[in-house]
Structure 1
Amino acid sequence: MVGPERPQFVLFGSSIVQYSYSNQGWGAILADIYARKADILLRGYSGWNSRRGLQVLDKVFPKDAAIQPSLVIVYFGGNDSMRSHPSGLGPHVPLPEYIENMRKIALYLKSLSEKTSVIFLSAPPVNEAKIREILSDTLGDMGRTNEACQIYSEACLELCKEVDVKGIDLWRALQQRDDWLNACFTDGIHLSSEGSKIVVKEILKVLREADWEPSLHWKSLPIEFADVLPDEVVSSDRKTTSPIGEADYHGYMELEETNRAS
């Protein structure tokens, strides 16, 4: 481990999480926004469902760890929602089991520490035509439909209310864009940079509005080594300086501005 100790944000889930550092993904954007403020840790496993996530929960999040995460963002649901295969193989998890798996995951994570907060991401929509165009030759009929994603998304959000964790409705959030079918995905399932920006926008909104103590919104967290700045930026008046560490250099301020306007 390296120091100083920072808040840890863990992203836990299936391929939407594993690929969140690709294609200017939402994990990479969060790491950029929280530079010098929090460590964004990736625990994503492509192809997994809630059943697999539950199996390794105590290995990814051991209760005897010296440091527990400040925030865990969880995504399972898209693979669970896929049509069951006659062979019994595949990632499909029946809806009642999915709900119970996610309930167990939520309660376990909440028990890690009093300071561990949890956000669930619901299943996003899919572009069924694009899936058939790009993935059917290699993966066959994946049995993934927008209708099924909605059912699992709504079940996830209802569970969030029951167990008192924050839930983000990705199924509806992505479809707020008129061109979501083409703009939000790389292959009909996984998120493009535009789709990832929507995810980050929704996460930042939750973090800004949550009454968690301490606040985990990036503007509320201290800048690491703010008192040890070797250089400063000369301001536009050429007479004063501004600390480099406090500059909004990451270029994602429009996500916050969009949130305030909505």
Structure 2
Amino acid sequence: MEPKILCLGDSLTQRGWEVESHGWVAQLAAAYLRRYDVLNRGFGGYNTRWTRHLLPRMLPQSLRNMRLITLFFGANDAQIAPYKQHVPLPEFSSNLRAIVETFSSPDSALYAPDALIVLITPPPVGEKMWSRDRESKSKPFDRNNDVARQYAQAVVQLAAELDLPCVDLWSEIERRVEGLREMPFDGYEEFTCDGLHLNAKGNDLLAQLLRTTVDEREPKLKPENIPWLLPDHNGIQEGTVEEILTFL
């Protein structure tokens, strides 16, 4: 089996395929083109509770060919109680730890022995934008940025405990919008399309942060350090069947 990359998460991962908004998963796939295949397992609206128990249905039967796994959760878990996606903070941490252990334990059927696991925090909630989005859809206001911060901090803390690399997207966006508070939606419109989901600039930022994090932690995973599957056509001398068969 060829090496692969697994991106597991909620709608922020599912939407990562959207080319029109510079989806971060699509950018990852482009970076590893002809090197590693990227498997998008983003499930819009899902939280860590549902994911933890449904992993066998979400994933291939074996992950032994995985080289990189991203876990991007918290945006739904941080929904305000009593809405159905809400997961209490202690349980969220426990669930995320269990998901990591599913991939890192040799006793697990989904053990991924050669994979670098990267945790990604949920982004901030742009409350003005999110409130407008909810009103336009006749839905209740169900998220706030203070709660999102707590869940982001829990991801950072777990990553530190497990010695895993972490992309602190919450802090990175917060730092950038600090000087944009005079904008109509407090600057969050620079990085999100609705106060929660990433727009093109937000996806560009996440893709850049993820690449930097992976490159620093595991240089061998830099795309330029991974040979292409099969040679470039310029490396094919005659183009005969006999020559082509030597690449099998």
Alignment partner, residue 182 of structure 1: 189
Per-residue deviation at 1:56? Answer: 1.5
* Gapped regions of structure 2 (runs ≥ 5): 106-110, 181-186, 237-248
Tell me, yes or no, if structure 1 residue 143 matches structure 2 residue 142.
Answer: yes
196, 202, 210: which is aligned to 2:203?
Answer: 196
Q: What is the DSSP-based 3-state SS (H/G/I as helix, E as strand, rest coil) of the residue aligned with 1:176?
A: helix
Structure 2 CA distance for aligned equivalents of residues 20 and 136 of structure 1: 25
Q: What is the DSSP-based 3-state SS (H/G/I as helix, E as strand, rest coil) of the residue aligned with 1:84?
A: coil
Structure 2 CA distance for aligned equivalents of residues 66 and 148 of structure 1: 33
Alignment partner, residue 131 of structure 2: 132
Structure 2 CA distance for aligned equivalents of residues 139 and 185 of structure 1: 20
Contact 1:207 1:216 survives alignment (8 Å)? yes
* Gapped regions of structure 1 (runs ≥ 5): 232-262
Q: What is the DSSP-based 3-state SS (H/G/I as helix, E as strand, rest coil) of the residue aligned with 1:56?
A: helix
Runs of 4+ deviating beyond 4 Å: none
Alignment partner, residue 96 of structure 1: 90
If the length of structure 2 is used for normalisation, what is the TM-score?
A: 0.83
User: Cα distance 1:227–1:216, how it changes in 2: closer, same or farther (>3 A)?
Assistant: same
Q: What is the DSSP-based 3-state SS (H/G/I as helix, E as strand, rest coil) of the residue aligned with 1:53?
A: helix
7, 10, 19: which is aligned to 1:11?
Answer: 7
1:179-205 deviation line (CA, Å, top 9, x unaligned): 441110111110001001111111111
Q: What is the DSSP-based 3-state SS (H/G/I as helix, E as strand, rest coil) of the residue aligned with 2:192?
A: coil
Tell me, yes or no, if structure 1 residue 220 matches structure 2 residue 219.
Answer: no
Structure 2 CA distance for aligned equivalents of residues 230 and 155 of structure 1: 49
Alignment partner, residue 247 of structure 1: none
Correspondences of 1:66-77 after superposition (within 5 Å)? 67-77=64-74
User: Cα distance 1:163–1:40, how it changes in 2: closer, same or farther (>3 A)?
Assistant: same
Residue type matched to 1:49 in 2? Answer: N
Per-residue deviation at 1:230? Answer: 7.2
Per-residue deviation at 1:229? Answer: 3.3
Per-residue deviation at 1:24? Answer: 1.6
Which region of structure 1 is more displaced relative to structure 2, 132-141 or 222-231? 222-231
Alignment partner, residue 160 of structure 1: 159
Alignment partner, residue 123 of structure 1: 122
1:16-42 deviation line (CA, Å, top 9, x unaligned): 001111222101111111111111111
Q: What is the DSSP-based 3-state SS (H/G/I as helix, E as strand, rest coil) of the residue aligned with 2:34?
A: coil
Per-residue deviation at 1:127? Answer: 0.9
Q: What is the DSSP-based 3-state SS (H/G/I as helix, E as strand, rest coil) of the residue aligned with 2:96?
A: helix
User: Cα distance 1:139–1:161, how it changes in 2: closer, same or farther (>3 A)?
Assistant: farther
78, 84, 106: which is aligned to 2:100?
Answer: 106
Per-residue deviation at 1:227? Answer: 4.9
Per-residue deviation at 1:11? Answer: 0.7
1 or 2, which has the higher helix percentage? 2
Residue type matched to 1:222 in 2? Answer: P
Contact 2:64 2:114 survives alignment (8 Å)? no
Contact 2:65 2:112 survives alignment (8 Å)? yes
Alignment partner, residue 48 of structure 2: 50
Tell me, yes or no, if structure 1 residue 81 matches structure 2 residue 75.
Answer: no
Structure 2 CA distance for aligned equivalents of residues 78 and 66 of structure 1: 25
Residue type matched to 2:137 in 1? Answer: T
Q: Percent identity?
A: 27
Residue type matched to 1:108 in 2? Answer: T
Structure 2 CA distance for aligned equivalents of residues 114 and 66 of structure 1: 8
